[in-house]
């Protein structure tokens, strides 16, 4: 009778019921709480530790945590699986998902659904963090994901999206996973204000994911930086790529990228700021390259790229390349190594600048020559090469180098 | 006091000292004379430990000086050409040596007063004339009341007045019973100073005699003449044997 | 000993050459830091000073000073002082005064404009290079009595380490570039104090690049704390061994 009244009340007033789960409430188990809920209901889980194996949500509910309840997978289960559209998961601490290489168990996984919202959760020590598989129009917001593995194969990705579109990934922090954010076949999505640090492999990694936009993210101290491959129409604005150090670490690795726009990012203290391979028709504009080993490495397989109005500051080498063919244009950048003059005071140097130093070419061929860098000998060689280019391609120039750095 | 036993020194092929044997006691004032390049300065420097011997030994008060340095507290040395750090003043130099010696002997400042060096205490060494520099050297040699004084060409460069002051000082010290070595080419100067003469030639001690004996042997009253007559007797044939050795 | 060091120190610090050296370093450093809005130019200027000017001035000044003070050394020798004490005092006096000159001229602007690990490592290396080339000056001046020859040896020593050695390394690199010579190269740098210092600074200054390809190998050696200690030890040896040889020669030298 009681239930009937409640049901009538719900259906007539169009208000959902709320089910409380917790020690102090009649419903003690999360699973039971979910089972009791009907489509459109809210399940509020109160603070505490819940070890209930895999929890599946198969109807549209709002699943709320209060005082950060802990859902523990005990390293045996996928913690939370979502099989319904428009589910909201908010305010949980999800820990210790199982580890398996074929099924990829996750902290939270969404199976083939849309309009799911996952927000304000803490995911600690999971194999994969949040996994969207074949989803549309989902939002992942304000989550904190942390993992502790040391080896690539022990770890899954932080936020992993596969074959999805119109995803919003906003203001998450991912720390210590394999790839911070991983996209494969994800289209028309927005990645905004995320922080991806200390991940073992890439801070951001995407392939075949066209027309996505990346704005104001921080990718810092990741094993190999950020890698983006086989994609067109990428937009990257206002991101920070910092301190990605190592043998093959790049602030941003572009491989087979085309028709993209890289604007107003900051590349600081990376082994290579941007590494480009097979990249064409992209515009690199108003970025800052600061204190990198190599500001940009442009392989000879790149063409028709425009590098305009960037600041190159304190890099060991501003530009390096492995060929002599120059198919890209460098115009109106500021190079702090430029030593020309500006007689007509229009802010543009009167002598073209050769951003490619002899020594950059030398080390490309004989990497161990790096040992001699900044020795007096090399400085002399470099200076004479700047005056009379003989080894470096003489059309590799910025004809309108700026005298003052751009206020970026 | 100083026993020199059979010492040898070669500079390259050139033998500068050839088995030199000498014995010197306190109270003696010895003139070390001989032609240029005969080994006088080398001998002095060996006593000071600046030149290290190839063979033989030098004993100071019965102890070998090899590797020692404290015995030099008892030696006052006045070099032929004293050069001092350019930027220091006379006062600083004297202070410096005082500090280095750090001795608690009474200081003998007779010469300092006699040469009136105190007036020039704040003059820098590089502005000094050769003579004034010699005065500084002399003052330093006598300053610590050493038992042995080694004076290399002490009067060269000094004006007659200063040279007279120095001579008087030497006589005074001799009378105190100190051992004094003087090298000089001005034999006439030595007359009233020295008690013994060592004549060196080509690295060998030609003779070592008391002045009185020397004079009586040759019937001369002046040292210079006595020596001249001895040289005439001894070496009629070989004008300069050193040349033969070199060639 | 302290008394003699103090005397020598005061004598050198008053000399116009050292004052000029300090002054020129200061002008160079301050102006190159002020010229640009980032500190890179200033750091590079000071790097070149450390790798080029400091060795040259240290070795030349020390050699000339030693020749000019030969009479002073004689004066000290006639005093009751141990020989080795005189030589060590001279060395310490010269090293300390050159370090002071370097510190005042280049060190202060460096620490003001770049108060980080780069600044500190550069300062340390600058001081070590000063001491090393002073020690080499002691060696070259004890080798010959002839002032002109001694200065010639000093200049050749400087030229070798500042320029020729790198040329040699470059030549070896290209001759043997098909072989895995990275480790050998790390070993070869031990034979030049300037290269040791340069690579240490490089690892802090161009850390991003040095972490790259081959950087890994240099980083593995020089970048670890063991490597850092080893290379500092090597640098210290570069100061100690030449000085020790010169000390032994001085002990047995006729003056």
Residue of A118, A35, A44, A114 lying closest to A80 (CA atoms): A118
Average pLDDT, whole number, for chain A? 89
> Would the pLDDT of A8 be above 70?
no
Tell me whether residues B69 and C80 touch, CB distance under 8 A: yes
> Would the pLDDT of C218 be above 80?
no
CA distance A105 to chain C (A): 35
Chains near C, with 3+ CB pairs < 8 A? A, B
Per-residue confidence (pLDDT) for residue B185, from 0 to 100: 78
Beta bridge partners of C173: none
Alpha-carbon distance of B184 to B153, in angstroms, equals 5
Within 8 A by CB and 6+ apart from A374, the residues are C44, C47, C51, C198, C201, C202, C205, C206
CA distance A379 to chain C (A): 10
Within 8 A by CB and 6+ apart from A74, the residues are A51, A53, A96
Instruction: Give me the domain span that covers residue C184.
Output: 2-251
Beta bridge partners of B60: B2, B63
Per-residue confidence (pLDDT) for residue B244, from 0 to 100: 43
Between A106 and B244, name the one with better pLDDT.
Answer: A106
Residue of A161, A77, A171 lying closest to A127 (CA atoms): A77
Enter the pTM of the model.
0.78
Residue A278's pLDDT band (boundaries 50, 70, 90)?
Answer: very high
What is the complex's ipTM, to 2 decimals? 0.78
Strand order in the sheet with A204-207: A55-57, A80-82, A106-111, A128-133, A159-165, A181-187, A204-207, A225-232, A250-258, A272-277, A294-298, A317-321
Chains near A, with 3+ CB pairs < 8 A? C
Pick among C17, C19, C78 to test the B interface (most B CBs inside 10 A): C78
Nearest to C78 among B11, B48, B81 (CB): B48
Alpha-carbon distance of A41 to A17, in angstroms, equals 5
Tell me whether residues C218 and A245 touch, CB distance under 8 A: no
Q: Give, in order, the Cα–Cα distances in Å from B121 to each of A346, B18, B83, B93, C175.
A: 65, 44, 16, 9, 66
Residue of C143, C132, C137, C138 lying closest to C237 (CA atoms): C132
User: Is residue A360 assigned to a domain?
Assistant: no
Tell me whether residues C78 and B50 touch, CB distance under 8 A: yes
Query: Domain with A78 in it: what CATH number?
Result: 2.160.20.10
Strand order in the sheet with B204-210: B75-78, B148-152, B179-183, B29-33, B196-201, B204-210
> Would the pLDDT of B191 be above 90?
no
Beta strands in A67-105 (DSSP E): 70-72, 80-82, 88-90, 93-95
- Per-residue pLDDT reduced to its tens digit, C140-197: 999 998 999 999 999 999 999 998 998 888 888 888 878 877 778 878 888 999 998 9
Share of chain B above pLDDT 90, in %: 4
Nearest chain C Cα to A269, which residue?
C208
Half-sphere exposure of A69 (CA within 13 A, CB side): 23
Pick among C122, C212, C215, C223 to test the A interface (most A CBs inside 10 A): C212
Helix (H) or strand (E) holding A191: strand A190-192
Domain ranges of chain B: 2-246
Between C117 and B83, name the one with better pLDDT.
Answer: C117
Under an 8 Å CB criterion, which residues of C touch A?
36-38, 40-41, 44, 47-48, 51-52, 162-163, 166-167, 169-170, 173-174, 177, 181-182, 185-186, 189, 194-195, 198-199, 201-202, 205-218
Tell me whether residues C254 and B48 touch, CB distance under 8 A: no
Within 8 A by CB and 6+ apart from B170, the residues are B29, B149, B151, B154, B180, B182, B193
Residue C207's pLDDT band (boundaries 50, 70, 90)?
Answer: confident
Any idea what DSSP says for residue C188?
Answer: H
Per-residue confidence (pLDDT) for residue C69, from 0 to 100: 84
Alpha-carbon distance of C85 to B109, in angstroms, equals 28
CATH for the stretch B2-246: 3.40.50.300
User: Is residue A54 assigned to a domain?
Assistant: yes
Residue A1's pLDDT band (boundaries 50, 70, 90)?
Answer: low
- Per-residue pLDDT reduced to its tens digit, B200-232: 888 888 888 888 888 888 888 888 888 888 877
Nearest to C3 among B51, B85, B99 (CB): B99
Within 8 A by CB and 6+ apart from B95, the residues are none
The sign of the torsion formed by the CA atoms of B164, B169, B170, B171 equals: positive
CA distance B10 to chain C (A): 11
Per-residue confidence (pLDDT) for residue B243, from 0 to 100: 44
Task: Give how many domains chain C has, as a whole number.
Answer: 1
Helix (H) or strand (E) holding B181: strand B179-183
Identify whether the C-beta of residue A109 lies closer than 8 Å to the C-beta of residue A83.
Answer: no
Q: Which residues of chain C neighbour A249 with C-beta distances below 8 Å? A: 211
Task: Give how many domains chain A has, as a whole number.
Answer: 1
Chains near B, with 3+ CB pairs < 8 A? C
What 3-state DSSP class applies to A365?
A: helix
Any idea what DSSP says for residue A187?
Answer: E
Alpha-carbon distance of A223 to A250, in angstroms, equals 9
Instruction: Give me the domain span that covers residue A158.
Output: 17-223
Tell me whether residues B50 and C71 touch, CB distance under 8 A: no
Within 8 A by CB and 6+ apart from A356, the residues are A319, A320, A321, A392, A393, A396
- Per-residue pLDDT reduced to its tens digit, C10-59: 888 888 899 999 999 999 999 888 876 677 778 888 888 888 899 999 99
Any idea what DSSP says for residue B226?
Answer: H
Per-residue confidence (pLDDT) for residue B246, from 0 to 100: 42
Residue of B94, B72, B98 lying closest to B85 (CA atoms): B94
Mean pLDDT value across residues A194-214: 93
């Amino acid at each position: 009778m009681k239930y009937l009244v409640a049901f009538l009340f719900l259906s007539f007033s169009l208000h959902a019921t709320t089910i409380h789960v917790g020690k102090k409430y009649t419903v003690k188990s999360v699973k039971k709480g979910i089972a009791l809920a009907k489509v459109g209901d809210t399940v509020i889980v109160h603070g505490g530790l819940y070890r209930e194996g895999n929890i599946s949500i198969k109807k549209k509910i709002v699943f709320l945590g209060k005082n950060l309840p802990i859902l523990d997978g005990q390293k045996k289960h996928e913690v939370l699986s979502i099989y319904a559209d428009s589910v909201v998961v908010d305010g949980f601490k999800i820990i210790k998902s199982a580890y398996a290489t074929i099924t990829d168990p996750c902290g939270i996984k969404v199976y083939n659904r849309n309009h799911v919202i996952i927000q304000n959760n803490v995911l600690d020590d999971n194999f994969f963090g949040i996994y969207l598989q074949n989803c549309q129009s989902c939002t992942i917001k304000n989550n904190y994901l942390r993992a502790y593995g040391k080896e690539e194969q022990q770890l899954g990705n932080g936020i992993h999206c596969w074959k999805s579109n119109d995803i919003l990934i906003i203001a998450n922090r991912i720390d210590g996973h394999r790839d911070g954010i991983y996209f494969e076949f994800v289209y028309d999505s927005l990645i905004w204000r995320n922080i991806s640090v200390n991940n073992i492999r890439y801070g951001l990694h995407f392939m075949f994911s066209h027309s996505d936009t990346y704005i104001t993210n921080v990718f810092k101290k990741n094993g190999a930086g950020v890698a983006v491959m086989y994609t067109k129409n990428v937009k990257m604005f206002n991101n920070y790529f910092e301190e990605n150090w190592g043998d093959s670490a790049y602030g941003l690795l572009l491989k087979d990228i085309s028709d993209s726009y890289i604007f107003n990012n900051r590349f600081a203290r990376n082994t290579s700021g941007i590494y480009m391979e097979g990249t064409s028709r992209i515009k690199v504009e108003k970025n800052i390259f600061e204190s990198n080993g190599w500001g940009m490495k442009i392989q000879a397989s790149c063409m028709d790229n425009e590098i305009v109005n960037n600041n190159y500051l304190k890099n060991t080498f501003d530009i390096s390349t492995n060929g002599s063919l120059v198919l890209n244009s460098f115009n109106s950048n500021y190079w702090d190594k430029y030593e020309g003059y500006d007689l007509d005071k229009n802010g543009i140097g009167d002598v073209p600048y050769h951003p490619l130093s002899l020594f950059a070419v030398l080390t490309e061929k004989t990497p161990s020559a790096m040992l001699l860098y900044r020795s007096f000998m090399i400085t002399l060689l470099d200076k004479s090469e700047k005056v009379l280019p003989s080894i470096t391609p003489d059309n590799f120039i910025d004809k309108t180098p700026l005298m003052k750095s751009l206020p970026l | 006091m100083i026993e020199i036993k059979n010492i040898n020194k070669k500079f390259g092929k050139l033998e500068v000292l050839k088995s030199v044997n000498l014995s010197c006691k306190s109270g003696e004032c010895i003139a070390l004379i001989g032609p240029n390049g005969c080994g006088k300065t080398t001998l002095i420097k060996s006593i000071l430990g600046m030149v290290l011997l190839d063979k033989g030994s030098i004993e100071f008060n019965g102890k070998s000086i090899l590797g020692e340095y404290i015995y030099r507290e008892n030696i006052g040395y006045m070099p032929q050409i004293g050069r001092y750090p350019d930027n220091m003043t006379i006062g600083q130099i004297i202070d410096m040596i005082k500090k280095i010696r750090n001795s608690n002997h009474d200081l003998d400042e007779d010469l300092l007063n006699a040469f009136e060096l105190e007036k020039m205490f704040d003059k820098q060494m590089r502005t000094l004339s050769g003579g004034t520099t010699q005065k500084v050297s002399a003052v330093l040699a006598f300053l610590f009341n050493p038992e042995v004084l080694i004076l290399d060409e002490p009067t060269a460069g000094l004006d007659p007045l200063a040279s007279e002051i120095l001579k008087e000082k030497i006589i005074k010290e001799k009378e105190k019973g100190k051992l004094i070595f003087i090298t000089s080419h001005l034999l006439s100067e030595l007359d009233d100073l020295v008690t013994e003469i060592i004549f060196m030639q080509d690295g060998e001690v030609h003779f070592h005699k008391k002045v009185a004996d020397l004079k009586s042997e040759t019937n001369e009253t002046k040292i210079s003449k006595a020596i001249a007559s001895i040289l005439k007797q001894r070496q009629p044939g070989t004008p300069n044997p050193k040349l033969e050795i070199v060639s | 000993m302290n008394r003699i060091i103090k005397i020598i120190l005061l004598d050198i610090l008053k000399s116009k050459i050292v004052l000029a050296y300090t002054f020129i370093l200061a002008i160079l450093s301050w102006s190159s830091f002020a010229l640009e809005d980032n500190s890179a130019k200033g750091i590079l200027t000071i790097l070149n000073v450390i790798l080029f000017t400091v060795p040259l001035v240290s070795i030349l000044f020390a050699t000339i000073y030693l020749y000019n003070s030969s009479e002073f050394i004689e004066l000290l020798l006639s005093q009751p002082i141990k020989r080795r004490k005189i030589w060590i005092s001279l060395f310490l006096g010269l090293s300390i005064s050159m370090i002071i000159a370097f510190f005042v001229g280049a060190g202060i602007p460096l620490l003001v404009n770049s108060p980080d690990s780069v600044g500190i490592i550069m300062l340390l290396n600058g001081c070590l290079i000063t001491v090393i080339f002073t020690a080499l000056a002691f060696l070259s001046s004890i080798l010959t009595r002839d002032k002109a020859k001694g200065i010639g040896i000093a200049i050749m020593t400087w030229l070798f380490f500042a320029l020729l050695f790198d040329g040699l390394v470059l030549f070896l690199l290209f001759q043997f570039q098909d072989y895995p010579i990275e480790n050998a190269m790390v070993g070869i740098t031990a034979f030049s104090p300037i290269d040791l210092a340069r690579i240490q600074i490089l690892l802090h200054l161009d850390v991003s690049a040095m972490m790259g390809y081959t950087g890994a190998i240099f980083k593995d050696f020089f970048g670890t704390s063991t490597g850092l200690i080893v290379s500092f030890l090597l640098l210290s040896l570069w100061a100690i061994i030449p000085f020790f040889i010169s000390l032994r020669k001085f002990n047995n030298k006729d003056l």
